[in-house]
Amino acid sequence: MVPERFLAYRIHADGRFGSGRLERMGRAELDAGDVMVGIRFAGVNYKDALTALGRARLARKFPLVGGTDLSGIVESSEDSRFRPGDEILIHSFGLGSHHDGGYAEFGRFPADWIFPLPPGLTLLEAATLGVAGHSVGIALELMERNGLAPDRGKVLVNGATGGVGSIAIDVLSKLGYHVVALTGKIGEAAYLHSLGAAEVLDRNTLQHGAKPLEEETWAGAVDSVGGKQLEWLARTMQRDGAIAAIGNAGGSTFEGNVLPFILRGIRLLGVNVNNPVETKLRIWRRLASDLKPRHLDRIVRRIALDTLPQAFDDLLAARVRGRQVVDFDSA
Ligand SMILES: NC(=O)c1ccc[n+]([C@@H]2O[C@H](COP(=O)([O-])OP(=O)(O)OC[C@H]3O[C@@H](n4cnc5c(N)ncnc54)[C@H](OP(=O)(O)O)[C@@H]3O)[C@@H](O)[C@H]2O)c1
């Protein structure tokens, strides 16, 4: 039974790009959809922090319930594909930017956006993976389609302690890759080794060099940092090496040299989670089976809805390790 009013973290049209706060909202205020969901868990993503704190023009309607990914239980459905009690997950499709997202006790969504929870995952595990895990699954498929295999050499994971980075280390090491974690938080080396990193490098002491072609070091790279780091990565890739560019936590722009591309044939692969439904389904099935990280319990930190503002600050200041997930039962 969905109450008339419930708790939500909503972004309003204050400031330059909006600003968020915890409040009570009415059931009738939720965006339209065929399926009413009782939300159990919602991930805290870099983009969600930027949206809530009005750091970028991401919110496309006001007020807006924030949150890009969630898992929960169907309360009621006007679509025959879903029944009350079904366990589901939802992400992307403009959630938390164009359509009300996961930071509310209840949400209403179009049935076409909803995926049944794949066998092999719990609701908490699905939210721990969220768009971060989904992007890692896509990155892995893209890199392997471009020739990456464990016997090709080392794979670098940049932004290693972040949500994307932690999951990437876990998945790649499970698949037999020699994973090198690059982090700004060298104090978290033990955590990174415990996820499967064979080596841990300190970003603060890294020598970037200046040559267009530095020593060939990486067969593959998962980069959620961007900026100068991405430019350095390109210069240090092995012949035919593949970089999966997932994020821009360290900057959106980078200057580059074309020589690694034309002399070493390196591949720069863009990762985007707004892919076709069939792709999403395949990736989720894989995340629940062969790509399922072994240490999700170590990666997740459950937080209460009313601690979101602190969670956003911590995330943007790179103080977070792993994935923060709002647990609606922990209030
Ligand atoms: N392409 C897609 O579809 C997709 C999907 C999910 C996420 N993303 C993007 O991927 C990036 C990472 O997401 P996430 O969820 O992993 O975020 P996160 O948990 O905040 O992790 C980002 C990590 O990057 C590192 N970092 C390096 N420079 C930083 C800086 N100047 N500010 C903040 N962090 C910095 C930090 O790790 P260390 O201290 O260990 O270096 C930080 O923990 C974001 O840009 C996000 O928008 C894209």
Instruction: Supply φ then ψ for residue 249, to 5 degrees.
Output: -60, -25
Residue 252 beta carbon below 6 angstroms from any ligand 1 atom: no
Task: For residues 16-27, give the mean pLDDT.
Answer: 96
CB 315 less than 6 A from any atom of ligand 1: yes
- Tell me what percent of the residues of the chain surpass a pLDDT of 90: 98
Question: Which residue type sits at 271?
Answer: V
Strands 19-26 and 218-223, sheet pairing: unpaired
Closest CA to 330 of 311, 307, 299, 298: 307
Question: How many other C-beta atoms are found inside a 10 Å radius of the C-beta of residue 162?
Answer: 27
Answer yes or no: is pLDDT of 189 > 70: yes
Distance in angstroms (rounded) separating the CA atoms of residues 282 and 289: 11
Question: How far are the Cα atoms of 85, 128, 328 from residue 303, in angstroms, in the given order?
Answer: 24, 12, 9
Q: Is 184 in the pocket of ligand 1 (CB under 6 A)?
A: yes
> At residue 330, does pLDDT exceed 90?
no
CATH 3.30.70.920 fits 131-270, yes or no: no
Tokens of 73: 């239980």
Cβ neighbours, 10 Å, residue 331: 10
Residue nearest to atom 21 of ligand 1 (CA): 162
How far are the Cα atoms of 121, 124, 283 from residue 221, in angstroms, in the given order? Answer: 27, 28, 19
Residue 162 Cα to ligand 1 midpoint, Å, equals 6
**pLDDT score at 80:** 98
CA distance 327 to 301: 9
What is the mean pLDDT of the segment spanning 82-95?
97
Instruction: Return the sign of the alpha-carbon dihedral for residues 49, 50, 54, 60.
Output: negative
Asked whether the domain spanning 131-270 has the same topology as the one spanning 5-117+296-327, the reply is: no
* Share above pLDDT 70 across residues of the chain, in percent, rounded to a whole number: 100
What is the per-residue pLDDT for 37?
Answer: 98
Residue 81 alpha carbon to ligand 1 centre in Å: 35
Q: Is the CB of 229 under 6 A from ligand 1?
A: no
Indicate the pairing of strand 64-65 with strand 87-91. Answer: unpaired
Tokens read off for 190: 């033990």
DSSP codes of every residue in 152-189: G--EEEESTTSHHHHHHHHHHHHTT--EEEEES-GGGH
Between CA 301 and CA 194 the distance in angstroms is 16
Q: Is ligand 1 within 6 A of the CB of residue 47?
A: yes
Atom of ligand 1 nearest to the CA of 321: 43
CB-facing half-sphere around the CA of 16: CA atoms within 13 A: 6
C-beta 133 within 6 A of ligand 1: no
Is CATH 3.90.180.10 correct for 5-117+296-327?
yes
| pLDDT tens figures, 299-309 | 999 999 999 99
Please give the helix or strand (H or E) that residue 19 lies within, else none. Answer: strand 19-26
Examine the pLDDT at 280 and tell me if it is beyond 60: yes
* Cα 137 from Cα 131, distance rounded (Å): 10
Would you place residue 331 in the very low, low, confident or very high pLDDT band (cuts 50, 70, 90)? low
Mean pLDDT calculated for residue range 145-158? 98
pLDDT of residue 156: 98
Residue 31: strand, helix, or coil: coil
- Cα separation, 207 vs 271, in Å, equals 27
- Determine which residue's CA is closest to atom 28 belonging to ligand 1: 250
How many whole angstroms from 246 Cα to the centroid of ligand 1? 9
Domain boundaries, given as residue ranges, for the chain = 5-117+296-327, 131-270
Confidence band for 264, pLDDT divided at 50, 70 and 90: very high
Q: Which of 172, 163, 97 is nearest to 300 (CA)?
A: 163
CA-to-CA dists, residue 194 to 33, 157, 181, 282, 295, angstroms: 42, 15, 12, 28, 8
